[in-house]
Structure 1
Amino acid sequence: MSPVRRLLVRALPLLLSVLLAGCGAPAAHDTAERDVRDAVAAWSRTPPAQLAGIPLEGWGYEVSAVRRDGAQATARAELHYRLTGYDAAPAGSAREVRLGRDGGRWRVTGDRAAPGAPPQLWDQGPVEVVRGAHSLVLGVGQDAGTLSAIAADADRAVPAASAAWPGPWAGRVVVLVPGSLDRMAELLGRPAAEYRGMGAVTTGRVGAAAAPADRVVVNPEGWAELSTAGRGVILTHEVTHVATRAATTARTPLWLSEGFADWAAYRGGATTPQQAAPALGRAVRRGELPGALPADEAFAFGGDPEALARAYEGAWLACRMIAAKWGDAALVRLYELAGRKSPAAALEETLGTGPAGLTAAWQASLREELAAP
């Protein structure tokens, strides 16, 4: 036998043992990962006890990846749940579940938002729950009186939004009230500076027919500075965004979506353009009549607050003018079509005019409504 052949024969048992060991490793790894997944599944069959007051259904964690380090493990998962009576489809949340090995079994030791993902309200502390006739208010770090007052405001806002928007929608709203502006920003995954001075914002995906209900998120610091009437206007504005969500798409111009929400909020009230559009009024009296309806970028936060105010005020007055000149039904129909057609086509079909004609009519109304001091 040649020296090379003898070397191969002697090495064969060693090679076989290495290959067998290598084949066995994935099986052991797969078993451990399966045990971690099973532990997460068993733990997540029911919501945690601290969430008992929140009406939840369909609660479950879907594990996407497992990382083990000795007796510790971390599972990346997607939490799915619905708020009973409010969500038409499951809400989602990226989570990181921590586990430890105890007595030969994996046990969950912690759960938090995945890195880079916004937290859930209950990650910020114990949640207080107030149910209104048309609203579900969830708060952290807020007294019951504040949450009850917000629920009452929301219960008035829902019928007001429904009166302005006759299209189908759930007729219910979920309101989240975190403990501070910074906590609000955490929930939204954005810098706190973007929401300073605001009373509330709305979350949600535009044009989603079967999406979870939008959440109206209150800025408690901005909310505290509002008058009673101002709170009603803000909530009706945000609830109108919820009502119109299915008809709103990326094609819907912001002057129409924001202006319509303000039109719904002020509709039927005694607020005059001089009172509700002070920034635009000052500009018009200086001879600075806008040359065009506000562009989408004019509604971006973080810039000149006076310019932002003029954009919102101009959008409201545009929708107010359309309703006054062509009728409420024409404004609603314009909103419905603007999400599916070009602005020119939507305007021509509903108002019988184009962008230039609408702009001219709007400018004339601004002179009439705001020129006098």
Structure 2
Amino acid sequence: MPTGAGELARRRLAALACAALLPLTACSDDPPPPTHGGSAYEDVAARMQATLDQRAASLRRGDLARFRATLDRSDAGLVDTQQVYFDNIAQLPVGRLRLRVLPDTITPVDGSGVDSTEYWAEVVVALALEGYDAAPVRTRDRYRFVPTRDGSRLVVGSTTDYAWEEQHPGNAQPWDLHAIHVEQAAGVLGIFDSWTDEDAWQVLDAASSGRSDVRSVVGSDDASPALDGVVVYAVQDLSFLDGLAGQTVGDPDRVDGLTIAVPVDAAAPGRGVASYRIFVNPRVLDEPSAVLGRLVRHELTHALLGARGRGAPLWLSEGIAEYASVRSMSPGQRRLPSRALDVGASATDLPGHAEFGSTDAEAWYAVSWWVCEYVAATYGESTLLGLLEQLAGGADQDRVLPDVLGIDGPSLVRRGVAMMTTTYG
């Protein structure tokens, strides 16, 4: 479907994690750390943990003086970038924040073993956004620890090792990278930057009203952590999406909107999802408000559905998101891509990954939307949503469709296209 002037291409699929990038401090050319450090570093680990406990407590309490005391203040660049990080965290509704060193990853910087005075170590950061995360989101980073002038403590000398981060994607959030501007509305936490903060309330209004609109269509799922609130990113620097490569249709830089399933711990998939967050490409902010609203409602549908229908065919999950996104619009406002009728006329079966990854992806979104319109109009919305759940987990649609609807995939796409053609032809 078109997103407005220029018919912006939509490439949206729920992703499993956020990206890993270049955080705010200096880099390192040190070799990758070993997989274990050994008992010789027990005292070192205890000193590191004491500093991390103070760092976490000062971030939770907004105590800048205590926070600065955990840093190597002889490094002006480190102090400046960590000030940005402190200011970013201070704006977030932090529910829980803990830092934990992994002793088995401690590595002497100079290779001199237990006699070293500086060390690298991996650190687990557990951060929960109050009202938005069902559990703290655990990410891993690699810190450099250096001694204070009197040698009594180990403080943070760097939070960045580029080589390590390239091998461990999924660690960065926008607040780890650049200065952010945070705003909240009913049930929505917006993350903006200096390029997008003028449009913050436009995005928040679309997301806040859109949650009610979408819920009226898809209902609610008490098991979904997104029901308490949803986080929306609208930042100019798209590099935090780099880690989503291969998990979206097409190039992430061409995406207008994404829904991101943020795991509790990317290193332990069995822990589940902490929240569903939405990315809105800033270029959409130049479009009419109706375009932004429709895009946001599409992504909110994915977020509010949460785990319901995970693994269902793309035509159904994306078609339902399109279907829900237009329900609050008058029929005359429900724009159709110019190629949709031609593509629909050639459709012989329901679209799959190849079609959604093609140059006609926008038209295939429209075909999927109208297949869902047909199902809802003929069998009822409850059947449409029930179909999503029955096709979850990769169920065989060649078996499920005849059982639920009494027709097969080719027949279903023909009927959906016929309804679309009648409406727009």
Q: Would the TM-score normalized by the shorter structure come out above 0.5?
A: yes
Report what 2:71 is aligned to: none
Q: Does 1:359 align with 2:407?
A: no
Distance 1:157 1:227 in 2: 16
Distance 1:283 1:246 in 2: 31
Out of 36, 43, 56, the position equivalent to 2:48 is 36
Q: Gaps (5+ residues) in structure 2?
A: 1-36, 60-66, 68-85, 110-115, 264-268
Higher RCO (CA < 8 A, seq sep 6+):
2
Out of 288, 297, 308, the position equivalent to 1:236 is 297
Q: Are the aligned partners of 2:147 and 2:154 in contact in 1 as well (CA < 8 Å)?
A: yes
Matching of residues 277-292 of structure 1 within 5 Å: 277-284=337-344, 288-292=345-349
Out of 136, 147, 165, the position equivalent to 1:115 is 165
Aligned-pair CA distance for 1:86:
0.9
3-state secondary structure, aligned to 1:275: coil
Distance 1:43 1:29 in 2: 21
Report what 1:246 is aligned to: 307
Deviations 1:8-38 (A, max 9, x none): xxxxxxxxxxxxxxxxx97644323443344
Matching of residues 1-373 of structure 1 within 5 Å: 28-47=40-59, 49-50=86-87, 51-64=89-102, 65-69=105-109, 70-102=116-148, 103-104=150-151, 105-112=153-160, 115-116=165-166, 117-118=169-170, 119-142=172-195, 144-168=197-221, 169=224, 170=227, 172-180=229-237, 182-186=238-242, 188=244, 194-204=251-261, 211-220=273-282, 222-250=283-311, 252-271=312-331, 275-284=335-344, 288-300=345-357, 304-305=358-359, 307-340=360-393, 341-370=395-424, 372=425
Aligned-pair CA distance for 1:356:
4.3
1:311–1:209 Cα change, 3 Å? farther
1:31–1:184 Cα change, 3 Å? closer
Distance 2:316 2:289 in 1: 26
1:323–1:277 Cα change, 3 Å? farther
Q: Which moved more, 1:229-238 or 1:342-351?
A: 342-351
Q: Which moved more, 1:184-193 or 1:116-125?
A: 184-193
Q: Which moved more, 1:69-78 or 1:348-357?
A: 348-357
Larger Cα-atom Rg: 1
Aligned-pair CA distance for 1:344:
3.7
Distance 1:191 1:337 in 2: 23
Query: Which amino acid in 2 is paired with 1:53?
Result: Q
Q: Are the aligned partners of 1:135 and 1:174 in contact in 2 as well (CA < 8 Å)?
A: yes
Distance 2:371 2:247 in 1: 31
Q: Which moved more, 1:289-298 or 1:31-40?
A: 31-40
Q: Which moved more, 1:211-220 or 1:230-239?
A: 211-220
3-state secondary structure, aligned to 1:294: coil
Distance 1:283 1:144 in 2: 39
1:171–1:56 Cα change, 3 Å? closer
Distance 1:268 1:140 in 2: 29
Q: Which moved more, 1:226-235 or 1:275-284?
A: 275-284
Query: Which amino acid in 2 is paired with 1:75?
Result: A
Cα RMSD after superposing both structures:
3.0
Aligned-pair CA distance for 1:149:
1.5
Aligned-pair CA distance for 1:205:
6.1
Q: Are the aligned partners of 1:259 and 1:318 in contact in 2 as well (CA < 8 Å)?
A: yes
Distance 1:174 1:346 in 2: 34
Distance 2:118 2:287 in 1: 49
State the TM-score, normalizing by the size of structure 2.
0.71
Aligned-pair CA distance for 1:188:
4.5
